[in-house]
Chain A
Amino acid sequence: MNNSCRDCGQSGECRLPPGMLEQYDLGTPTADGLMIWLEVSRHAGVFLESSSLEILSKAREIYDGRIFGVVFGDIELKPLYAEAFSYGVDTLYHVKDRRLIDFHPEAYCESMKEIAERINPSIILMGATPRGRETAPRLAASLGAGLTADCTELSIEGTVLRMTRPAFGGSLMAEIVSNSVPQMATVRPGTFPLKKASGNTAGTVIYRQYGGNSFKTIIGSEKRYSDEKDITEAKILVSLGSGIRNREAICIAESVAKKLGGMVSCSRTLVDKGWFPQIKQVGQSGRNVSPEIYLAFGISGSIQHKAGIMTARKIIAINKDPDAPIKDIADEMIIGDAESILKELDRIL
């Protein structure tokens, strides 16, 4: 009794009004397993993205069932198998095709749909990275699944995945459940700590081919990575906003960041001013960051900016205005002049 169409006696496509199915939660009892798209980073080598490993770490903590990983690429991925297994993957689907080294969302989704139909997972997760956020909705639509974006907390109760995500710039936390299977979510990078599951580095690898033809015609591609890390990876961020008036302060901030082993980031206003490249921007239209410590110098804390820092472990704001909205989420508000405090900090470190 798990197929609606048999239930309503129709052959072929079910004639129940869409939406009716979900009311009865059909299919839920048979779905089992958790499927994760393991994103591959191809900058300076081939790696599993830490966002994917973070999800695996969390999945192993809250889920006892089978975990299926999916990777796209050619033989260059072989060295990554061991890492995937050590983070708790039981079965790894490797969709092996040279052409899939490039990101083709349509082809990726078709493949993952086929795999999902085969294993019938109850949960599908991926990182809320730019590519994850592009892929997950297409896959969800193709599976007729509900999807919750950018979760910062996950828990499982029975067969139900409870997904928590920030709303309205982080001032509200919404808890969301899916009323159909698979239950799908993307997870904000940097939210969950990395934790290897075991010393185990072996597991099952299943090769698959992609039989479709949904490739984009990519006429040019430029990798934009610098020698520097991404601001999302920094443990400490020294972040500047428009309360900083002199451009020289950037050098001082760089120096402070270096002494602390961190990096410099900024609010959008300084990107607009041309002081920083866009990759340094924190916030809704920039990066979501989760450093241990976020030092906000002269940043007011607009909704868009707060959305990007709400998973930071500790926020210290330096602002001349005690009522600046960043106070709502700051652990420490220091009321004073941003530049002179920055200078002093550089001196004493």
Chain B
Amino acid sequence: MDTLPWKHGGKMRFVVFVKQVPDTSAVCTDINGNLIREGVPSILNPYCESALNMACGVKKDGDVITAVSMGPPQAENALFRCLELGADEAFLLTDRAFAGADVHATVRTLSAFVKKFIPDYDLIFCGKQAADGDTAQVPAELAYMLGCGQFCYTQKLTLSGEWKAVQNYGSEVRECIIGKGDLLSVSDEEIGFRLPSAADYIRAAGIEIKKLNIADIGLDTFSVGLKGSKTKIVSATPSKVSRRGAVTDGSDPAKAAEHIRDAII
């Protein structure tokens, strides 16, 4: 018999923050090493998908999983995917003013959303990082803004009397007790690309994604997007790593091996 620690009104509320990213496996570079982003399909960030899967894994009847994303209108697609994978409702925070946000401005937007719309949530799940941006800063900043504990690199979440998270720091793996309102940042040990069933598709198709703009969330233009950012990209240049890029024929393994040896020693 499990006693759910902070279960109220018979159901738990899980919030999963997700991001839409370009499918990095489909990104190509041109001859100068520049990214060609046009025509690259967008996908649900794989790390966010793990986070959602973790939430789905602990969900019981009556619990509610809310998927939330901030992004342009097209980011709806990532949320559709979340609904197919098991989320019960979805919010898209979308407004021109949100564009160009750095971590600080992003987190301010996300935390304002939570405080206004889901203040009584039980747990928040985030992906460890975005596959395209790779700063991995949103979860911990968000935890601070919401005044909750953070559990980064979470690999496993279990409930047996208490909620427990297994965190993997590489050199150390530890298990901690988590409390109501805490935030989990999920690492991708087992990125499972689960295939939704036909029933999932039908269920998802019946759910409307709620769109919220800056006024709905109750922020002003100075707090969000580029204007609310604390960091500024002053330049972005193709890496000028001075690689020689010499190409050598290695059809004769013996010669190739000698070549490598000479290059190393």
Stretch at the interface among A50-58, A65-73, A76-84, A216-224: A216-224
Query: A336 contacts B169, CB within 8 Å?
Result: no
Which residue of A has the minimal Cβ distance to B153?
A130
Interface of B is mostly: mixed
Q: How many of chain B's residues have a CB under 8 angstroms from any CB in A?
A: 85
What's the nearest-Cβ distance from chain A to residue B232, in Å?
A: 6
**Which single member of A141, A167, A325, A347 contacts B140 (CB below 8 Å)?**
A141
Give the chain B neighbours of A168 by CB distance below 8 A. 27, 35, 132
* Proximity string of chain B (126-168) to chain A, C-beta cutoff 8 Å, 1 when within and 0 when not: 0001011111111111111100011011000000000010000
The yes or no answer to A318 lying at the interface (CB within 8 A) is yes
A141 to B231, CA, bound (A): 13
Query: B232 contacts A176, CB within 8 Å?
Result: yes
A275 to B257, CA, bound (A): 24
Which residue of A has the minimal Cβ distance to B170?
A130
The yes or no answer to A62 lying at the interface (CB within 8 A) is no
Interface of A is mostly: mixed
The yes or no answer to B264 lying at the interface (CB within 8 A) is yes
What's the nearest-Cβ distance from chain B to residue A305, in Å?
A: 11
Query: B245 contacts A230, CB within 8 Å?
Result: no
What's the nearest-Cβ distance from chain A to residue B149, in Å?
A: 6
Give the chain B neighbours of A333 by CB distance below 8 A. 245-248
The yes or no answer to B195 lying at the interface (CB within 8 A) is no
Query: A334 contacts B248, CB within 8 Å?
Result: yes
The yes or no answer to B102 lying at the interface (CB within 8 A) is yes
Query: A176 contacts B256, CB within 8 Å?
Result: no
The yes or no answer to B238 lying at the interface (CB within 8 A) is yes
Query: B140 contacts A335, CB within 8 Å?
Result: no
A79 to B211, CA, bound (A): 57
Give the chain B neighbours of A287 by CB distance below 8 A. 170
Query: A316 contacts B251, CB within 8 Å?
Result: no
What's the nearest-Cβ distance from chain B to residue A23, in Å?
A: 9
Give the chain A neighbours of B236 by CB distance below 8 A. 167, 172-175
What's the nearest-Cβ distance from chain B to residue A91, in Å?
A: 26
**Which single member of A147, A167, A334 contacts B259 (CB below 8 Å)?**
A334
Q: How many of chain A's residues have a CB under 8 angstroms from any CB in B?
A: 95
Query: A327 contacts B176, CB within 8 Å?
Result: no
* Residue from A138, A150, A315 with most neighbouring chain B CB atoms (10 Å): A138
What's the nearest-Cβ distance from chain A to residue B176, in Å?
A: 5
What's the nearest-Cβ distance from chain A to residue B38, in Å?
A: 14
The yes or no answer to A20 lying at the interface (CB within 8 A) is yes
**Which single member of A218, A303, A335 contacts B247 (CB below 8 Å)?**
A335
The yes or no answer to A341 lying at the interface (CB within 8 A) is yes
* Proximity string of chain A (123-159) to chain B, C-beta cutoff 8 Å, 1 when within and 0 when not: 0000000110111111011101111111000000000
Which residue of A has the minimal Cβ distance to B243?
A331
Query: A335 contacts B250, CB within 8 Å?
Result: yes
Known: A141-B140, A175-B235, A284-B131. A328 touches B246 (CB 8 A): no
Give the chain B neighbours of A212 by CB distance below 8 A. none
The yes or no answer to B61 lying at the interface (CB within 8 A) is no
Which residue of A has the minimal Cβ distance to B265?
A260
Query: B239 contacts A170, CB within 8 Å?
Result: yes
The yes or no answer to A17 lying at the interface (CB within 8 A) is yes
Which residue of A has the minimal Cβ distance to B37?
A168
What's the nearest-Cβ distance from chain A to residue B128, in Å?
A: 8
Stretch at the interface among A27-35, A177-185, A202-210: A177-185
A105 to B153, CA, bound (A): 13
Query: A177 contacts B256, CB within 8 Å?
Result: no
The yes or no answer to A10 lying at the interface (CB within 8 A) is no
The yes or no answer to A199 lying at the interface (CB within 8 A) is no
Known: A218-B174, A219-B176. A173 touches B239 (CB 8 A): yes
Binding site for A on B (CB under 8 A): 24-25, 27-29, 33-35, 102-104, 107-108, 129, 131-145, 149-150, 152-153, 164, 169-177, 185, 187-189, 220, 222-223, 227-241, 243-254, 256-261, 263-264
List the 5 shortest-distance A-B pairs measured between CB atoms, nearest first: A336-B250, A146-B230, A344-B257, A19-B222, A137-B140
